[in-house]
Amino acid sequence: MKRTNVVRLIPDKNTRPVLKILGDRCAALWNAAQYQMRQAFFQGLPVPSYAKLCEEFQDHDAYKALPSDMAQEILKKAHQSWNAFFACLRLYRNGKLENRPHIPGYWKDRKTGQRFFKVIPVKSPRSYSLAARFLSVTLPADLRDNGRLVVPARGILKFSGKPRTLEIKYDQVKKRWYAFQVVEMPEPDCKPKPVKVAGVDLGTRTLAALAVEGIDNQILFSGREVWKDFLYWSKRISAEQSRLNKAGRKTSRSLKLLYRARSKRLNHAFEALAKEIARRLKANKVTMLYLEDLTGIRADMDFGPGNLLVHNFWAFRMLRKAIEAACLKVGIQVVPVEPRGTSSYCAVCGTRLDRFMRNKAYCSHCGLVWHADANAALNILLKGSSKGHGVKAAPQRPQVLRWNRHRWESRLESAVGTPFKAANSVPEAA
C-alpha cells in the first residue's frame, strides 16, 4: 500500500527564487504539451500517448530546461489528465455524470496572461533526498552552481518504506511551500484469526454508532460539538461573503482561509473518530467491520432548513474513507452493507419500531425503548453476519463519546442523559 509524508518547506531568500524558476519551467512544459494534445483533440486526431510525448519533446526547449525526472513526470501528468477527461466523458455520455467534463487546460491566468504552476514533480528518489529537516533536489545544468538545491524542512515523516515520487507545491492561500512524498509500504500481515465482527451506522446528529460482538453496550459518537464548530465557521464565511458582495467582489484570501479552516477542522474530527473506532476494534480483537453504505442517499432530496446539515456538514464519504483507511492500517477487513430498514426494525425480534422521538424508538413486541442509532448499528452487525457468526443482539445502554476539539472522550453519560454513578460516589444529602 502507499502512504504520503507531508512536510513544510521553509525556503530562504536564496532558495525561494530557484523554486519559482523550477515551477515556471514546469508550467511552460505543461502548457506546451497541453497545446499539442488539445490541437489533436480539436482536429479529431488521437491524443498523443505518454511515449509519443516523450519522443516529440526530447528536443524541446521547455523539456531541456528541466531535469529529465521532472520533465518526464510533467508529461506523464499531462497525459493522465486526458485519461481522466475521457473517463469522465464516458460517464457523462452514459448518464452517470450530471455536468459535461471540461478538457484539460493550461497553467495560465487568463486575466493577467501569466503562467502559474501547480506542482513541481520529481519522478525518482535518485533525484531527491527528504528528511525531517531538509529536502535536497536535483537542479538543471544552468542552475547547478552549488550542486543540489537544499531547502530546510519542518515536519515528521510518519511513514517509512520504499520512497517513490515527490511533489513540491505552493499553497496560494497560506503562502507556504510543502513537499509530498509517496512511500510504498508492505501490506499489514493479517494472520488468520477467529472471526469477530462489528457494525457501524453513520448519521448526522450521531456521526457513528458502533456495535461490537461480545460488548455489552454500543458506542455513540455525538456530532453535536462538531456541528456547532462547523456552524460557527459557516456563519463567519457568510459574513465575509456579505462583505465581499457589498464591495462588488466574489472572493478573497480571507474567504479562502475560512473555507480551509472549516474543512480542516471537520476533517480532523473525522480522522480522530476513525482512529478511535480502529483502536477500539483492535483492542477487542475484531477482524471484520460491517460499514453502512450510504451511496446515493441524498440524491434528489430537499431537506429544507436542514440542507446545510445534510448536504454540507454530513460528509459521509469522507468519514467512510477515513474509517476504511484506519481499519486497513490495523488489519481489519471492511465490508459495505445495504442500510435499508436498519433503523426501522427491532434488532432483537424484528418488529417494526415506533419512532416517538427523533433518537428514540419503541418496540411494541419486546417493550424496549431503543436509541435509534444503537439499534441501527446492531441491525447492521446482524445483517452483515447473517451468513452465520453466532451474533445475538441485546438492548444495552449506549456509551456516548463527545468531541472536545482534540479527541473523542466519554462523559460517563448515557444516551438519554442519565449520568452513570460511580461505585464509590457519595450520595447527595437529603
- Please write the tens of the pLDDT for every residue from 234-260: 999 999 999 999 999 988 999 999 999
Rounded mean pLDDT of 95-104?
89
Instruction: Tell which residue, 113, 163, 116, has the closest CA to residue 7.
Output: 163
Query: For position 313, what pLDDT does the model report?
Result: 77
* 337 contacts 295 by C-beta, under 8 angstroms: no
Query: For position 427, what pLDDT does the model report?
Result: 35
Burial of 290 (0-12, 13-18, 19+ CB in 10 A): buried
Give the angle 322-282-379 at the CA atoms, nearest 5°.
70
Average pLDDT taken over every residue of the chain = 83
Q: Looking at the predicted structure, is the pLDDT value of residue 414 above 60?
A: no
Q: Looking at the predicted structure, is the pLDDT value of residue 388 above 80?
A: no
Confidence class of residue 298 from pLDDT cuts 50, 70 and 90?
Answer: low
The residue whose grid cell reads 521532472 is: 70
Domain spans, the chain: 2-184, 197-414
Instruction: Tell which residue, 367, 377, 320, 368, has the closest CA to residue 343.
Output: 377
- Please write the tens of the pLDDT for every residue from 65-94: 999 989 999 999 999 999 999 999 999 999
Query: For position 205, what pLDDT does the model report?
Result: 84
- Please write the tens of the pLDDT for every residue from 301-344: 665 555 666 666 778 888 899 999 999 888 888 888 887 777 77
Return d(Cα 267, Cα 173) in angstroms, integer. 18
Query: For position 301, what pLDDT does the model report?
Result: 60
Q: Angle of helix 316-329 relative to helix 253-283, nearest 10 degrees?
A: 40
Q: What single letter denotes the amino acid at residue 170?
A: Y
Q: Looking at the predicted structure, is the pLDDT value of residue 378 above 90?
A: no
Query: For position 2, what pLDDT does the model report?
Result: 87
Q: Looking at the predicted structure, is the pLDDT value of residue 401 above 80?
A: yes
Q: Looking at the predicted structure, is the pLDDT value of residue 273 above 90?
A: yes
- Please write the tens of the pLDDT for every residue from 47-64: 999 999 999 999 999 999
